[in-house]
Amino acid sequence: MGYWVRLCLSVLYFSLISPSSAIVDADNDDYEVPIPSTLDGPFKPVTVPLDRTFRGNAMDMPHTDPLLQTTAQGFQPQQISLSLSSSHNSVSISWITGEFQIGDNVEPLDPNSVASVVRYGRFRRSMSHRATGYSLVYSQLYPFEGLQNYTSGIIHHVRLTGLRPNTLYQYECGDPSLSAMSDVHYFRTMPVSGPKSYPNRIAVVGDLGLTYNTTSTVDHITSNHPDLILLVGDVTYANLYLTNGTGADCYSCAFSDTPIHETYQPRWDYWGRYMQPLISSVPIMVIEGDHDIEPQAENQTFVAYSSRFAFPSEESGSSSTLYYSFKAGGIHFIMLGSYTSYDKSGDQYKWLGRDLASVDREVTPWLVATWHAPWYSTYKAHYREAECMRVEMEDLLYEYGVDIVFNGHVNAYERSNRVYNYTLDPCGPVYITVGDGGNREKMATTHADEPGECPEPSTTPDDFLGGFCAFNFTSGPAAGNFCWDRQPDYSAFRESSFGHGILEVKNETHALWIWHRNQDFYESAGDEIYIVRQPQNCPPFKPAT
């Protein structure tokens, strides 16, 4: 049976069944494979055995790779990317002109020397609209002799407004006065916010980096034709390099005597060049990870992350690029910062309360939260590291009825049962860890519940924010212990493999989640489930105001 025949039969079949019943197996013509839903849970924990024949080619791409080069000349735009604003009628276009500099003495380019202009219009119509924005240059400076400083090219951000929902646009960016405009690129706006209005596919990936396994992940994402990409922290891993370009899989192991944690900032430029074919047309929304901290002189952090992407922080009432929110159809996304204060007395927590209180679940039924360091992960790596953040914020997310949480940080895949305070709860979120994008640190393979693998509690606090909140469990099956002695009940499925996920929200109550392994064929699913909301049984305990 041919592909298109199978596809047509699948569409016909789906028109006759409820979303949580079954799906036609694209790889087998003889039977239908049922897809479970969260209504069938909680599920017995499953661990897929480690495939030791496939660890992934997690080796960084060298700067000489043609995919990391640019064909831009002079002040022609390069590293073009697209991001969403807080609503469907606005997007931001970002790009870089001019070349970076790295060495002992660097002279920043003048950001006012090149204009920030986008010409745009609806597809197959003239690009008669024009928008202007702003530009900046950032530096990564080190107060130690012998370290090479860096200054970026000119980074441009232009926000387009007044766009129509779910509409294909074309655009070119650059400075027309210098005859330095880009090729024509295309993007589709998000659908209008509403309970029956959703993007078709949202790709979710974390800890991406720039390895040959990254290329496999990005190829898989591209083949799934997403409308939006969520990158849940750890973008380039430039901080696995010294300023002279020497890199290692483990910075602290190889460079333990450096006076400051160095970075090799050109890796950000290589990443932007490599990703341009995808993210110049598909909007990417990013939240910071620990590898994006990048400390430098005067205690500055997150400078590259905050400079290179456009964030709807101001539009969503946030004063920081490290946390913000936005809408995509009937989904309200909350992007939280694991590496900025999350105390109840702090700005982020107060902003989160205001943002959650503003969500109208009649308009945006789905509430999805993301941050980098997971609260519910059973891998030894980073086990209970973000416990202080969970203690501060979990009650608030639960009270407002968050449906799904996406995290990275742990370089593996894991999906939870619905859980709250380490206890199975039919109204708790489903937590999904997708820190398996392909970075050079390689995969996490050891679980904290395996004999002899439970980490010492003193090793678990987050180094950046400090604080210690991860104590022994006081109740439940693990009472009196720091780790479970078996895969915890809240862990439904875990597997060590590189990949990415696709979220397809079908309606107000059903969303299909599919996780794809890199080593599988593009259409194959490593894990899939319908996540089902039950607003009649689990309404937000704190309604919007």
Nearest to 246 by CA among 258, 235, 232, 259: 258
Known active-site residue 225: no
Nearest to 332 by CA among 203, 233, 193: 193
Amino acid at 518: N
Burial of 192 (0-12, 13-18, 19+ CB in 10 A): middle
The set of residues, in sequence order, having a beta carbon less than 8 Å from that of 403 and lying 6+ positions away, is 366, 367, 368, 429, 430, 511, 531, 533
Q: Describe the strand order of the beta sheet including 91-97 as a list of residue ranges.
A: 78-84, 91-97, 154-160, 134-136
Burial of 85 (0-12, 13-18, 19+ CB in 10 A): buried
Residue 466's Cβ-side half-sphere holds a number of Cα atoms within 13 Å equal to: 0
Contact 61, 212 (CB under 8 A): yes
DSSP state of 379: B
**Active-site entry in 382, 409, 447, 510:** 382
Give the separation between CA 195 and CA 25, rounded to whole angstroms.
29
Burial 55-83 (b: 16+ CB within 10 A, else e): ebebebbeeeeeebebebeebbbbbbbbb
Nearest to 310 by CA among 81, 13, 539, 10: 81
Give the separation between CA 33 and CA 525, rounded to whole angstroms.
12
Contact 234, 291 (CB under 8 A): yes
Contact 224, 513 (CB under 8 A): no
Amino acid at 327: K
* Cis peptide bond upstream of 426, omega within 30: no
Give the separation between CA 233 and CA 337, rounded to whole angstroms.
9
How far is residue 69 CA from its own chain's centroid?
25
Instruction: Give catalytic residues, as residue numbers.
Output: 382
